[in-house]
Amino acid sequence: MNAPAYCFSKEVIIKNPFGLHARAATKIAMLAKNVKSNVWIIKDDQRADASSIIEILTLACAQGSKVTIAIEDDSDLSILTDLVQLVESGFGE
Amino acid sequence: MSNTDDKEIELHGISASPGICIGKAYLVGKEGVDVLEKYFIDQNKLQEEVHRFKAAVKSAKNELHGIIKTMPEDLRQDAHILEAHMVLFEDKMLYGRTLETIEKELVNAEWALKIVVSDVKAMFDNMADSYLRGRAADIIHVSDSIMQNLAGAKVENIAAINKRVILIASDLSPAETSQIQLEKIMGFVTDHGGKTSHTGIIAQTLEIPAVLGTDNATSIIKNDDIIIVDGTAGSVIINPTDQTLIQFEERKERYESHKANITRDSELPAETADGICMEVMGNIELPEEVVSVINYGGDGIGLYRTEFQYLSRPDFPSEYELFDRYKDVVEVMAPKPVTIRTFDLSGDKKVAYVSRSGDANPALGLRGIRYCLQKPDAFMTQLRAVLRASAFGHVRILLPMVSCHEEIIAAKNIFNKATDSLAKEGVDFDENIEIGVMIEVPSAAIMADVMATDVDFFSIGTNDLIQYSLAVDRVNKDVAYLYQPLHPAIIRMIKHVIDVAKDKGVKVLMCGEMASDPINIPILLGLGMENFSMNPQSIPAVKSMIRALTVKDTRPFVQKVLKESSSNAIIELVQDTYGSILSDKFYYLD
């Protein structure tokens, strides 16, 4: 894996009771589909491409998990903000 | 051959949705896509193969899109599963990798897809979380529908079923389940999947019986076999004898009339047959659960656990943050009471009632009021938030894990500071707010007369009271059999607390699991318990039990119970006396 060069990142806590389950991962992936560069979700030493539901699910984020959302290109800053908001709102659940 | 064919066979699986149905089996097969050929593609035909794959994905997506659009109203809430599938179609782990495999290895699209999917599936199969392991099924459903489009196979048309049947399948994809004409389906039986699979969730939503994960139902059951599905017991009976049929017909009727009765009557007051009104309330952890308490006919919130807002964060929540949440709950419930229990956390801010490794004996450690008193600032913040919320409805404060009288005095000191400061700031709150203590430590039960002098109510927390009194951790399977709510010692302790409460004029409430099981209700009524709080789903059954009893009869009954010397003898006595009322509740409610 290439050494990641993130330009912005934000740490968030997964609040919703079922963690990053399929429905939540779908919402993330749909938002991340529109990025210019890459958006990553990082948990401990693992990272997942935020546009892939499968990769997000394999992180197995339970409720209370701390994850970092990172972007590589500053033109994706608004998507980072949207993702952080999505996670912090508990995915509207 | 014909002899064995007609023999009654019983299969067992996971009871994913309760109820009983009897009918003809309809098998949903998935032939035609299992046998896969591997062949290589010429470099100059590569673009064609890539197109073929993309086109298959596109038509699979169109099919699914069509299904979502025409989905019946009552299944809309499950549509998100299908929407996840829409996005999965183009997931780079599936779509991107298959394209890469076709291009790099010059293999046909079917083969490339198969390899990619089996890799992804292996990843999920190794996950510890059962929910996530179950998601492998989503990926397989998506790949199956691409595969069917690649291979040009016809999709099995479940929508064409034209008689009332019990559906038998290896596993049902959400797309397949959503196409079913629901009025035609009496029940589900599958080889794979569990309670949280799509079929399980849909069966629960529709309230049709389902037995899932039978392993081999599709290989044993044949089309048009007569079968019985007992979703409550998790069993499937193939070719039942006349005797079995009659037995299950009766059981089915009892279940259905019983279910209809308790649902219809959940709004009725919990009034005994001799006209005494009891209060049946709900326990909640999240503000959103208020809705189910109301739906199930609860008379208020008997226990609002507040730990949730403290977890997963390094700091303590602010007064306003807490107030906002409490106010929501209080306003929705008003004028019915909301009993807010102050945070029951342990030293490292973990929920104390969940035992964890690390702390050798968390149940006996720094938790409940002990922790509150060591963090007076955080405790003060919570009390101020609760007091502010009390201006918007009927609030009561409940202190957890009290084991000595001094703890009540210390907590009330902080409480008085909270009221003084709010009064000075001119903030509205209920000046007559009631304060109660959890009776969950045996010392508090024994000292109930002393505890009563400084509080307005008791709330008996049976889960901990039983664990501490009998010295049994019921999670430990070696000793779990000793965890007996109807142990004579527990009944005597509860009797003591209720007697003292009546004598001292304080209210008494029971909020543990003991209150949610109908079998315990005759004894609790006989002991003089009048307020119960439980998980919202249990409210209708407990209310219906209360309505079937009279206080007049339970009093002398309890005198007999108190003479018994073992839990088993007491359970037997309850069954002998109230068996006819309890019989279906026992069997059908979990």
Rounded distance between C-alpha atoms, residue B419 and residue B415, angstroms: 6
Distance CA B334, CA B342 (A): 20
Nearest chain A CA: its distance from B143 CA (Å): 13
B508 φ, ψ (degrees, to nearest 5): -135, 135
Q: Is residue A1 included in any domain, yes or no?
A: no
User: Strand locations in B386-504, DSSP E?
Assistant: 394-399, 434-439, 457-460
Structure tokens at A17: 């009771």
B419-443 CB burial, b ≥16 within 10 A, e <16:
beebeeeeeebbeebbbbbbbbbbe
CB-closest option in A14, A23, A62 to B80? A23
Q: Break chain A down into helix, strand, coil percent, rounded to 5.
A: 40, 25, 40
- The pLDDT of B466-470, averaged and rounded, is 94
The reported pTM is 0.54
C-alpha span between B5 and B158 (Å, rounded): 26
pLDDT at B250 over 60: yes
Domain housing A61:
8-92
Domain end: B260, B291, B323, which one? B260
The pair of three-digit structure tokens given for residue B437, joined into one six-digit string: 């203590």
B271 in Cβ contact with B523 (< 8 Å): no
Q: Name the strand (E) or helix (H) holding B448.
A: helix B448-451
Return the number of CB contacts < 8 Å for A and B.
60
What are B64-106's pLDDT values in tens digits? 888 888 777 766 666 777 888 888 898 888 899 999 999 998 8
What residues of chain B have any CB closer than 8 angstroms to a CB in chain A?
80-81, 83-84, 87-88, 91-94, 120, 123-124, 127-129, 131-132, 135, 138-139, 286, 311-313
How high is the pLDDT of residue B35?
Answer: 45
Of A15, A21, A55, the CB nearest to B312: A15
- Top-confidence residue, B344 or B523: B523
For the stretch B148-186, pLDDT in tens is 888 655 445 555 666 788 988 887 776 666 666 666 788
Q: What is the CATH number of the domain that holds B107?
A: 1.10.274.10
Q: Report how far residue B26's alpha carbon sits from residue B28's, in angstroms, rounded to the nearest whole number.
A: 7
Can you list the alpha helix ranges (DSSP code H) found in B29-187? 46-69, 79-88, 97-105, 109-125, 130-134, 136-150, 174-179
Considering only the beta carbons, identify the residue of A30, A55, A60 that sits closest to B87: A30
d(CA B277, CA A58): 52
Q: Which residues of A touch B91 (CB under 8 A)?
A: 29, 51-54
Q: How many CB atoms lie within 10 A of CB B398?
A: 28
Q: Nearest CA of chain A to the CA of B496: how many Å?
A: 39
To the nearest whole angstrom, how far is the Cα of A49 from the nearest Cα of chain B? Answer: 9
Number of domains in chain A: 1
Distance CA B144, CA B138 (A): 10
pLDDT > 50? residue B325: yes
Check whether B589 has a pLDDT greater than 50. no
Q: How distant is the Cα of B233 from the closest Cα of chain A, in angstroms?
A: 27
Worst-scoring range by mean pLDDT, B228-232, B394-398, B523-527? Answer: B228-232
Q: What values do phi and psi take at B531, rounded to 5? A: -125, 125
- Give the integer Cα–Cα distance in Å for A20 and A53: 10
For B279-321, how does the pLDDT look when each residue is reduced to its tens digit (9 = 90+)?
Answer: 999 998 777 778 778 878 899 999 998 987 887 567 889 999 9
Q: Give the residue numbers spanning the domain of B25.
A: 2-29+160-260
Q: What is the dihedral of CA B256, B259, B263, B269, to 10 degrees?
A: 130
For residue B235, give the CATH number of its domain.
Answer: 3.50.30.10
Give the residue from A15, A52, A59, A66 with the most B CB atoms within 10 Å of its CB, the best one to mutate: A52
Q: What is the pLDDT of residue B31?
A: 41
Query: Which pLDDT belongs to residue B347?
Result: 62
Cβ of A53 and B312 within 8 Å? no
Same domain, B246 and B368: no
Confidence of residue B426 (pLDDT cuts 50, 70, 90): very high
What's residue B477's pLDDT? 67
Q: How many residues does chain B have?
A: 590
Count, in order, helices (H) and strands (E) of chain A: 3, 4
- Chain A residue with minimal CA distance to B123? A58
pLDDT in tens, A26-47: 889 888 888 888 899 998 888 8
How large is the average pLDDT for residues B223-245?
90
Among A25, A16, A23, which residue's Cα sits nearest to residue B286? A16
Please report, for residues B47, B106, B494, the alpha-carbon distance to residue B42 in angstroms, rounded to integers and kept in the order given: 10, 7, 81
- Note the Cα B334 to chain centre separation in Å: 26
- Domain of A56, CATH number, reads 3.30.1340.10
pLDDT at B355: 42
Q: Quick check: A25 and A53 in contact, CB under 8 A?
A: yes
Q: Give yes or no for a contact between B157 and B178, defined as CB atoms under 8 angstroms apart.
A: no
* Cα B171 from Cα B160, distance rounded (Å): 18
Same domain, B475 and B513: yes
Residue with tokens 């990619």: B116
- Does residue B427 sit in the same domain as residue B303? yes
Does A31 reside within a domain? yes
Q: How many CB atoms lie within 10 A of CB B375?
A: 16
> Does A3 fall in a domain?
no
User: In this complex, do A26 and B91 lie within 8 Å of one another by their Cβ atoms?
Assistant: no
Residue range B110-114: mean pLDDT, rounded: 86
Average pLDDT over residues B8-25: 88
B198 is annotated as an active-site residue: yes
How would you class B75 by CB atoms within 10 Å of its CB: exposed for 0-12, middle for 13-18, buried for 19 or more?
A: middle
Q: How many residues does chain A have?
A: 93
What is the rounded CA–CA span in Å between residue B445 and residue B464?
12
Q: What is the pLDDT of residues B482-503, one digit of tens each?
A: 989 999 999 999 999 999 999 9
Cα gap B542→B570, rounded to integer Å? 19
The answer as to whether B230 is a domain residue is yes
Do B171 and B146 share a structural domain?
no
Tokens of B383: 């009390």
Cα–Cα distance for residue pair B519/B542, rounded to 1 Å: 9
| Phi, psi dihedrals of residue B92, rounded to the nearest 5° | -65, -25
- Out of B32-46, B114-128, B179-193, pick the least confident: B32-46
Contacts of B132 in chain A (CB under 8 A): 21, 57-58, 60
**CA nearest neighbour of A38 among A63, A13, A1:** A1
Looking at the fold, whether B443 and B543 belong to one and the same domain comes out as yes
Query: Cβ A15–B81 below 8 Å, yes or no?
Result: no
Of B296 and B438, more confident: B438
- Distance separating alpha carbons of residues B216 and B198, to the nearest angstrom: 19
Q: Note if B496 is an active site residue.
A: no
| Residue at which a domain ends, from B196, B229, B260 | B260
**Active-site hit among B198, B258, B394, B487:** B198
Note whether residue A72 is domain-resident: yes
B24 with B66, same domain: the answer is: no
Indicate whether B143 and B223 sit together in one domain.
no
Q: Which of A29, A49, A58 sits opposite B87 (nearest CB)?
A: A29
Sign of CA dihedral B517, B502, B403, B437: positive
A30 and B88: CB-CB below 8 Å?
Answer: no
A55 belongs to a structural domain: yes
Q: How far is B568 from chain A (nearest CA, A)?
A: 38
Residue B267 lies in a domain: no
Identify the three-state secondary structure at position B358.
Answer: coil
- Pairwise CA distance, residues A78 & A36, whole Å: 11
pLDDT at B3 over 50: no
Residue B1: per-residue pLDDT:
38
Residues B307 and B450 in one domain: yes
φ/ψ of B213, rounded to 5, equals: 65, 40
Mean pLDDT within B46-58: 91
Same domain, B189 and B278: no
Shared domain check, B336 and B372: yes
Q: Does residue B279 sit in the same domain as residue B254?
A: no
Domain count of the fold of chain B: 3
The rounded distance, in Å, linking the Cα atoms of B475 and B483 is: 10
pLDDT at B536 exceeding the cut of 70: yes
Q: Among B260, B290, B305, where does a domain finish?
A: B260
Rounded mean pLDDT, B319-331: 92
Q: Is B376 exposed, middle or buried (0-12, 13-18, 19+ CB in 10 A)?
A: middle
Predicted local distance difference test score (pLDDT) of residue A76: 85
Q: Does residue A79 belong to any structural domain of this protein?
A: yes
| B254 and B281 within one domain | no
Candidates B132, B140, B305, B349: best to mutate against A (most CBs of A within 10 A) is: B132
**How big is the CA angle at B300 (ends B363 and B317), to the nearest 5 degrees?**
55
Residue B34 inside a domain? The answer is no
State the Cα–Cα distance between residues B61 and B142, nearest whole angstrom: 9
| Pairwise CB contact (< 8 Å): B131 & A21 | yes
Whether B56 maps to a domain, the answer reads yes
Asked if the structure places residue B35 within a domain, the reply is: no
Q: Does B477 map to a domain?
A: yes
Peptide bond into B556 cis (omega under 30): no
All residues of chain B having their beta carbon less than 8 Å from the beta carbon of residue A63 are 312
Contact assessment for residue B30 and residue B170, using Cβ atoms and an 8 Å cutoff: yes
Residue keyed to tokens 């996530």: B132
| B268 within some domain | no
Contact between B179 and B67 under an 8 Å Cβ cutoff? The reply is yes
Most confident of B135-139, B538-542, B561-565: B561-565
Question: Looking at the domain assignment, is residue B347 inside a domain?
Answer: yes
